Amino acid sequence: MIDAGSLRKEKLFLTLLAKQHISPQDIDLIIITHAHFDHIGSLAAIKEICGCHVLAHPVEAQIMREGEVVIPPGTNMLGSAANCLGKIARPLLAFKPVESEITVDCEYDLGEFGVNGKILPTPGHTIGSLSVLLGNGNALVGDLAANLPGLTVYPPFAEMPDEIYSSWDLILRQGAQNIFPAHGRPFSINRIKNSLEKLNCFSYGMA
């Protein structure tokens, strides 16, 4: 499982799981793409229901251990406005601290969990952001990209704005075909490739 939703989503989680005929005990691992409240709000409850381990980057693991509510800086006007609102709402976003049994800060093969895929560190949205790249080319990238109506796929929030491009370059070179962002519908890697080529720092030859 990747990420665990915002606060009080455990009942919805159980409903959706039942629809897929999956038992909570079938989940061995929850991979956390990053420690923002909308990805870990229900993590403590869901971890307990599943009795599973949590995997995160050491930086994000520390945030979750301390229960720190991080409000990310905006990369555009929309993001900056949301950042201000988030700071006001911070006390409402408090989550139960969670311990991560596995911490990962380099490429990590998921074969031991029966998954044909790997974890890649993809900093930018946060310092310790992780992505999951499956063998079929599907990349689950958390908030490394977003697909929101009328906006580019560049995320509206980022702690390290320039690193977004380097991480995009990494997942592209690693063979990602389809991007599954945490916010919005999946989209083709071509949107990322085109954005990078416009920057002129990255070249991928003829497709």
Stretch that binds Zn ion, among 3-11, 46-54, 98-106, 177-185 (CB under 5 A): 177-185
Exactly one of 10, 27, 35, 36 binds Zn ion (CB under 5 A); which one? 36
Exactly one of 3, 60, 143, 159 binds Zn ion (CB under 5 A); which one? 143
Stretch that binds Zn ion, among 99-107, 113-121, 139-147, 193-201 (CB under 5 A): 139-147
Q: Which is nearer to Zn ion, 36 or 47 (CB)?
A: 36
Total of residues contacting Zn ion (CB under 5 A):
4
**Which of 142, 38, 47, 55 is closest to 95 using CA atoms?**
38
**Which of 131, 146, 143 is closest to 176 using CA atoms?**
131
Q: Which is nearer to Zn ion, 60 or 143 (CB)?
A: 143
Q: Quick check: 38 binds Zn ion (CB under 5 A)?
A: yes
Stretch that binds Zn ion, among 47-55, 63-71, 116-124, 174-182 (CB under 5 A): 174-182
Q: Cα(77)–Cα(14) distance, rounded to whole angstroms?
A: 36
- We find the least distance from the C-beta atom of residue 37 to Zn ion, in angstroms, to be 8
Stretch that binds Zn ion, among 8-16, 86-94, 142-150, 199-207 (CB under 5 A): 142-150
Helices H / strands E in the chain, number of each: 7, 9
Q: Which is nearer to Zn ion, 93 or 202 (CB)?
A: 93
**Which of 55, 13, 65 is closest to 32 using CA atoms?**
55
- We find the least distance from the C-beta atom of residue 50 to Zn ion, in angstroms, to be 21
In a 10 Å sphere around its CB, with 0-12 CB exposed, 13-18 middle and 19+ buried, how is residue 145 labelled? buried
- We find the least distance from the C-beta atom of residue 40 to Zn ion, in angstroms, to be 10
Q: Cα(133)–Cα(202) distance, rounded to whole angstroms?
A: 21
In sequence order, what are the residues at sequence separation of 6 or more whose Cβ sits closer than 8 angstroms to the Cβ of residue 49? 10, 13, 14, 24
Check residue 70 and report its DSSP letter.
Answer: -
- Judge whether 55 and 112 are in contact, CB under 8 Å: no
Check residue 111 and report its DSSP letter.
Answer: G
Q: Quick check: 60 binds Zn ion (CB under 5 A)?
A: no
| CB closest to Zn ion, residue no | 36
Stretch that binds Zn ion, among 89-97, 116-124, 175-183, 194-202 (CB under 5 A): 175-183
Q: By the criterion CB under 5 A, which residues form the site for Zn ion?
A: 36, 38, 143, 182
